[in-house]
Amino acid sequence: MGLLLKFVFFKLIIFFDSFKNSNAITVAEQLKDVIMRGYDNSIRPVINERDVLTVNISLNSMSVLVLDPAEETVTFSSEFILQWQDQFISWNKSEYNITWLKLKESFLRTPDTTVSTSINTNYLIDSDERYVSVKHDGTVRQSMYAVFVNLCDMNVDKFPYDEQTCMVKIGPWTYTLQEVTCVSGPDIEPNEIYFGLTVKRRPQFYVWVLLIPTYIITVVCIFGLFTSTANHGLREERVNLGITTLLSSAVILQIVANAMPKTSQLPLLGNFILAEIFVVAIGVLFAVLVLTLHQRAHTREWKPPAWMLWILRMTGSSKFLSRNITKIRHKNSTAERVNYTGEGAYLFRNLDESLQSVREYIQEEDRDYFRELTYIKFFDRLDFLLLVIFQVGNALVTLFLVKQ
């Protein structure tokens, strides 16, 4: 019986001790009750209404997430540290042995500081879960961590070698300058704070995916337009090749245009692709001109002018391209005919005329053969000359634009 009483008595002691501890409050809670007694978080934390509340803003961290040139926005996550003096809060540090106290942000009056250049702000911590640090002398320190979608006036003239500077403007939203001012240092004039975010593009992706393929396509197209292997076949395939290249270059230009803001000036990469389109288009026009001259040479006995033969170093081949060579040979053959008399003269005369016709036919075939060879040589040299001109011009245009 004695042991049972002792056990019950011990349980009662433990119960009352735990009940006593459950009703006890910590020093921090006592301090919070003291400084929050009579505190009104709906008014500006200054005793004199004419005083200006100075908010010191510093940038603790920043990370760029997305840079959208088409929308001219930059998305970044950053932490701004705000610090100001709350004249309604203070305590004796030696009495409570507490220098800094953590309080919920909703307990105090915080300045409505916002990033005014941002079109969308996503706070990573809910307002009910955010805390501020309060010092014994009334200094309040707030951490504002969020993801911002900030407007950015971009200059993409040198895209993809461009460098953008985006301005981030932060300051009070409803208060005037006479009520709340923001500073970022002791030597800065009170005003709204501007932070400059400078980003430099890495051009390797655009160089390997757009610039180099466009240049290679143009080079291959020029070789296809002015190669000398199609003189015996259908030269119309060269025009088809040029038109296909124009379509592919137009698709690449559309890709660049979709990635850029709609401004009055094309970026550097867009100018390069547009210049390549013009090079191919002019090459196609010259290919059509050569095709027309080739057709006229076979159907209308077109003779190249002397200056063109001189440029192609074919001045000695002009005799094969003469229009009157058939008539000259026909006159010579008529003068060499023999008059037959006597019995059988009619048969011999017919035989001689037949042989003369065969001889003229063979001579005409020889003349056409040499003439065709001369034209093949002429158009081969013309194609090679145009090939060199367009390849050198394309290289110069590329170097000029890329160098800028």
The pLDDT, as a whole number, for residue 76 is 93
Q: Is the pLDDT of residue 336 over 60?
A: no
Which pLDDT does position 240 carry in this prediction?
81
pLDDT of 150 reads 94
Mean pLDDT comparison of 24-28, 100-104, 381-385, highest-scoring range: 100-104
pLDDT of residue 398: 87
Separation of alpha carbons 323 and 297, rounded Å = 11
How large is the average pLDDT for residues 122-131?
86
Helix (H) or strand (E) holding 65: strand 53-68
Which pLDDT score is estimated for 139? 93
pLDDT of residue 261: 72
Cα separation, 24 vs 35, whole angstroms? 19
199 has a pLDDT exceeding 60: yes
Dump the DSSP string for 198-264: EEE--THHHIIIIIHHHHHHHHHHHHHHS-TT-SSS-THHHHHHHHHHHHHHHHHHHHHHHHS---S
Query: How sure is the predictor about 327, in pLDDT bands with cuts at 50, 70 and 90?
Result: very low
Convert the pLDDT of each residue in 201-211 to its tens digit. Answer: 888 888 888 88
Rounded mean pLDDT, 166-194: 74
Residue 316 has pLDDT above 80, yes or no: no
What gap in Å lies between CA 371 and CA 322, rounded to an integer?
9
Give residue-wise pLDDT tens across range 55-86.
898 888 889 998 888 888 999 999 999 999 99
Nearest residue to 301 (alpha-carbon basis) of 364, 358, 363, 239: 364
Evaluate the omega torsion of the peptide bond into residue 213 and state whether it is cis, within 30 degrees of 0.
no
Identify the weakest region by mean pLDDT among 101-115, 125-139, 290-304, 312-326: 312-326
Task: Summarize pLDDT for 247-281 with one digit per residue, the tens.
Answer: 888 888 888 877 777 776 778 888 888 899 999 99
For the segment 294-316, the average pLDDT, to the nearest whole number, is 67
Q: For residue 171, count other CB atoms closer than 10 A to its CB.
A: 21
What phi, psi does 69 have (nearest 5°)?
-65, -35
Lowest model confidence (mean pLDDT) among 20-24, 193-197, 201-205, 388-392: 20-24
Q: Taking residues 24-49, report their average pLDDT.
A: 83
Tell which CATH architecture fits domain 30-201: Distorted Sandwich (2.70)
Residue 17 one-letter amino acid: D
CB-side exposure of 199: number of CA atoms within 13 Å?
25
On whether the CB atoms of residues 84 and 111 are closer than 8 A, the answer is: yes
| Residues β-bridged to residue 64 | 76
**pLDDT of amino acid 331:** 45
**Mean pLDDT estimate for the chain:** 78
Hey, which of 29-38, 289-298, 346-355 has the most confident mean pLDDT? 29-38
Angle at 288 between CA 282 and CA 292, to 5 degrees: 145
Q: Are strands 118-123 and 180-183 parallel, antiparallel or unpaired?
A: unpaired
- For the chain, the distance separating the N- and C-terminal CA atoms, rounded to the nearest angstrom, is 103
pLDDT higher than 80, residue 144 = yes
